[in-house]
Structure 1
């Protein structure tokens, strides 16, 4: 949603195991969150501007935030249908445009780079300024939240100590030894392997890249913790980083752009009321709050995303109309 030269314990059988895990993740994602949005097509939400289809990507944080949008919108009189676990931007951006969904949470920097691969904006201000043109006439956003969840290059503490790593630049001299785990699209996205190579000289050979389709989730975490991969793309608000003692390598060249949570909306479904509700949610969604939500959902408590979202909405006073 993440070989020719193999380190100790990493075999072609291990690669096959990750591939099977990837298939399992994709299969589970296809089963979650209601009907398949990509089979719906057209304007599934009907003619009413207050009838909204909320979607999510295929990882827990996205589903949790999508549930927050759902709860807040329902509290304000919207008739909401949910279609969760759609997949990556390559799946859900077309779903927005064809009317399969109307609203989905995204992240400003990666959204910009997906829509405009030539963009060099990395700061929050520059990314926000560039987004409207990149969105085009079919899509729009409301105000981004203070909450930020950035991509990161993550290694185990043992690897960081062995190679004396503090930043991505330190990893570059070990390029030939690094087995890198990430979603398949990380190979091509500007902020993925191309950016790591151009900014830091971290050159990952095709045979040393392991695609894992859970967007830094349990399969990616398991591969890193077990040593099946040396480094991985995991988001900075993942509870697994602290739980496993992983080390987030510094990104002084800002390869990974600002990643504030933002609702992306099909323009034809946008309205003042929708904007007001989503802005109210975004104003209260902080990075610390996102970490707490992720810990509730992916930590020991294993709270369902819908339940965690409902509690957060209540705690923030967003379970009643905003005006």
Structure 2
């Protein structure tokens, strides 16, 4: 995913938890906005249902996609905070949602667990081949957000940690915090063990780089956490994102993943225009506005589109 993000941690946590409540329904794929697509059912053929994963940045990106499509006259509904890839990919395939912002490297690993591509162009080329009907990826953006193994400044100093490789000698003393799926994903615990020989003493199930992980790292409940590289709290708290010299975390460019039945020329043109403008710096600023300044994600999305000349 990156590349997965400054007020006090409690405020950030409250902001993100409020954001996570946007979906509301007990069914994560039920319609989040206007009527037209019931829970678990396909939307009308003239409507695009935009979904998101259950973390802040992906919600904002979904709102950007939705507002960009609306600006071109496309009918749009949203289903936000669906959950992990293991939940929303099936929803894309069965038509419960039509479109979601994705990250090239982790999406490639989802479709092809033996993938070896590392660079942005290589990953995108491999992803286009690995993505099978009824799904397709559109043009990727320069914007990148990777996962990172992050430790506090004190922990980095105590164990002389600069890269993930440095963890091999001390991880048996440390607790790692990450979302539950990190236990089985190729770039999660299996990848840490295979690529770096890193085995942590214990694992704590938290969230995808969100307030649970952030608070646990700050309060010493975990020693290392899976945090997104565009998280503004890394700089705010002087945390250390450990270097990844063996490229466990490959290129992670933001890319639209869509059910090809809904990929009309108008839809593709609108989303390609977003991808052409979106940068990594934009991701950091979008995260700051929502998480730290507590701005509404839709308002932030509209402001970005206006600045980019896409509204």
TM-score by length of 2: 0.89
2:246: which partner in 1?
253
CA–CA separation in structure 2 for the residues paired with 1:67 and 1:307: 9
Deviation at 1:37, TM superposition (A): 5.0
Residue correspondences, number: 289
Q: Is the 8 A contact 2:152 2:218 kept in 1?
A: yes
In 2, Cα distance between the equivalents of 1:91 and 1:243?
Answer: 32
Deviations 1:163-218 (A, max 9, x none): 1111011111002111000011111111111111111111125xx000113x1011
Asked if structure 2 preserves the Cα contact closer than 8 Å seen for 1:37 and 1:100, the reply is no
Shift of 1:41: 2.4
- Aligned CA-pair RMSD: 1.8
Report the Cα distance in structure 1 between the residues aligned to 2:70 and 2:175, rounded to whole angstroms: 45
What is the CA–CA distance in structure 2 between the aligned matches of 1:140 and 1:78, rounded to whole Å?
19
Cα contact 2:49–2:79 (8 A) shared by 1: yes
Pairwise CA distance, 1:239:
1.0
Which among 242, 256, 267 is matched to residue 274 of structure 1?
A: 267
Partners of 2:71 and 2:115 in 1: CA distance: 38
Return the offset for 1:125: 1.6
TM-score normalised by structure 1 residue count: 0.86
Q: How does 1:12-161 map to 2 (within 5 A)?
A: 29=20, 31-33=21-23, 36=27, 38=29, 40-43=39-42, 45-48=43-46, 51-161=47-157
Asked if structure 2 preserves the Cα contact closer than 8 Å seen for 1:37 and 1:101, the reply is: no
Residue 316 of structure 1 corresponds to 308
Match of 2:205 in 1: 211
Q: Which residue of 1 aligns with 2:228?
A: 235
CA distance in 1, matches of 2:225, 2:197: 17
SS of the residue corresponding to residue 234 of structure 1 reads strand
Aligned pairs for 1:165-180 within 5 A: 165-180=161-176
Contact 2:28-2:81 within 8 A present in 1 as well:
no
Indicate the residue corresponding to 1:7 in structure 2: none
Residues 77-133 of structure 1: CA deviation (Å, up to 9, x unaligned)? 000001100001011101101111101001000111112112122221221111123
Q: Separation in 2 of the partners of 1:314 and 1:131?
A: 30
Shift of 1:33: 3.0
Distance in structure 1 (CA, Å) of the matches to 2:152 and 2:103:
26
**Is the Cα–Cα contact under 8 Å of residues 180 and 232 in structure 1 kept in the other structure?**
yes
Unaligned runs of 5+ in 1: 2-20
Q: Deviations over 1:267-308 (max 9, x none)?
A: 111111111100000111000111111111112x11121111
Detail structure 1 runs of 4+ shifted over 6 Å in the superposition. none
CA distance in 2, matches of 1:38, 1:216: 22
